Amino acid sequence: MISEQTLLQRVLVLADESADWHAAGLPQLHRILLCLNEYTDLADQRAPISVSVQWKDEPSCLRAIADDPRLANLEVSHSTEKSVHNEDAFDLVLSTRVFLYRNAIAPLLEAGMAPSLRGAASWEEKIDRVRRALQSASVPQLGPLWRYLLDPTEIPACERAFLRHAGKSQDGLVSRHLNRPISRFITHSLLRTNLMPTTWSLSIFVLPLAGSFALLQGTALSIIIGCLIFQLYSILDGCDGEIARAKFLHTDSGRRLDSMCDLIGNVLLAVCLGLGLARYTPAAGYLDSFYIAEGLLAGVCVLLSEGIVFLRRSRTAKKPVTTALNGALYHRHHEFFHRSGILMLGETVAWWLVVMTKRDMAILAFLVLAIAGWPELILHLLLGVGAISSALAGNAFFRAPAAALPQEAS
């Protein structure tokens, strides 16, 4: 929730042919309306926003606003008049040539983005006033939040710049510097289709299944191939979130599906690697049952550590305690860390433990170990980290009620 935000009541949108320009998967007018509706959710504004869309020319049927349930907090009206009455009565004035990033409305309001249109004799003058106001409404500490599009040829560069900031603060080092650059390149093409994030999540789940099959073959080459496939899955797994954030399609069910696919993939990795290692070391027969048991136990530990967090995450609506770890943790992990005792080591040590054990870091490390000829170490690490995480999760969630969490200072 955004605290102490200005009540946004009236918005004017100057619309011309750019309203139909598709950028990052959405028509420009649709993106502006979704951003406005997003503001009401983040600011906990219950009063609807009155949005006046003033068209340069008679709007075509293609410009009609779809019956989008995501725009429930907006009251949209259309006008084809070339002038606006009470020109200074709007809290915010935008143009469909303005490409908005997520969460850009609040900074625009803080920057006073309501240029007066009084005295503007032509449409071009109105548009130019909006453009100049945007250029002077920079908020450097927040990074890029909007971009003015002069013509459609600027859209590809705008999309690439937007996707560079479409990651998550929880991304690990490998995700930020390796996985995201690749996934963004793929997402850039996917945004030109009607592909839904959940469809992508389900379609790429064939990769952990294929990787598990490769691990089961139990040869040095097959284990490397299996780990390589899991690394590919780790990269492509970022595309669904990027699509969802670009198109305002993020949902709780989509996040749960993505988390469930990741969890099943991690369990399959542990179990199938154990079974594969039993075939990988035929000369030492006594190790066969050991690796099978270790793989099964590692799978159980992975399932427990994430399962406990998943079961408890909906039992509290408390805000997380503000620490240096906030940007690195998903919301469901806050209670885990504050109860587990890890913070006794200090926030810096805890931060490094979080970063070095993230899934993106682990998957790449597993591939390196497989190439180096140490696949057994992968299984040992899976079991060790999974066992410790399970023990800490149990300690965090079964010793005291969730209501005992300290509150964030208001």
Residues 149, 213, single domain; the answer is no
Residues 257, 315, single domain; the answer is yes
Residues 197, 145, single domain; the answer is no
Number of domains composing the chain: 2
- Has residue 141 been placed in a domain? yes
pLDDT tens string 207-241? 999 999 999 999 999 999 999 999 999 999 999 99
Residues 128, 210, single domain; the answer is no
Q: Residue 288: what pLDDT?
A: 76
Residues 316, 386, single domain; the answer is yes
Name the domain boundary from 158, 182, 210.
Answer: 158
Print the domain residue range for 39. 10-158
Residues 365, 266, single domain; the answer is yes
Residue 77 phi, psi (nearest 5):
-125, 155
- Has residue 202 been placed in a domain? yes
Name the domain boundary from 158, 183, 203.
Answer: 158
Residues 245, 221, single domain; the answer is yes
Residues 247, 386, single domain; the answer is yes
- Has residue 164 been placed in a domain? no
Tokens representing 57? 């020319």
* Alpha helix stretches (DSSP H) within 313-374: 334-340, 347-356, 359-371
* 396 vs 51: which has the higher pLDDT: 51
* 78 vs 59: which has the higher pLDDT: 78
Q: Residue 2: what pLDDT?
A: 44
pLDDT tens string 135-174? 887 666 556 889 999 999 999 999 999 999 877 767 778 9
- Has residue 193 been placed in a domain? yes
- Has residue 165 been placed in a domain? no
Per-residue pLDDT band for 57 (boundaries 50, 70, 90) equals confident
Q: Residue 309: what pLDDT?
A: 65
Mean pLDDT, to the nearest integer, of 3-24? 85
Round to whole Å and give the CA distance between 79 and 56.
9
**Dihedral over Cα of 337, 341, 347, 353: its sign:** negative
Residues 152, 177, single domain; the answer is no
Q: Residue 180: what pLDDT?
A: 94
- Answer whether 397's CB lies under 8 Å from 308's CB: yes
Residues 236, 104, single domain; the answer is no
Per-residue pLDDT band for 259 (boundaries 50, 70, 90) equals confident
Name the domain boundary from 158, 193, 210.
Answer: 158
pLDDT averaged over every residue in the chain: 82
Residues 178, 241, single domain; the answer is yes
- Has residue 183 been placed in a domain? yes
Q: Residue 403: what pLDDT?
A: 44
Q: Residue 171: what pLDDT?
A: 79
Residues 395, 260, single domain; the answer is yes
At 53 the three-state DSSP class reads strand
Per-residue pLDDT band for 320 (boundaries 50, 70, 90) equals very low
Partnered with residue 12 across adjacent β-strands are 52, 93
- Has residue 166 been placed in a domain? no
- Answer whether 331's CB lies under 8 Å from 315's CB: no
- Has residue 163 been placed in a domain? no
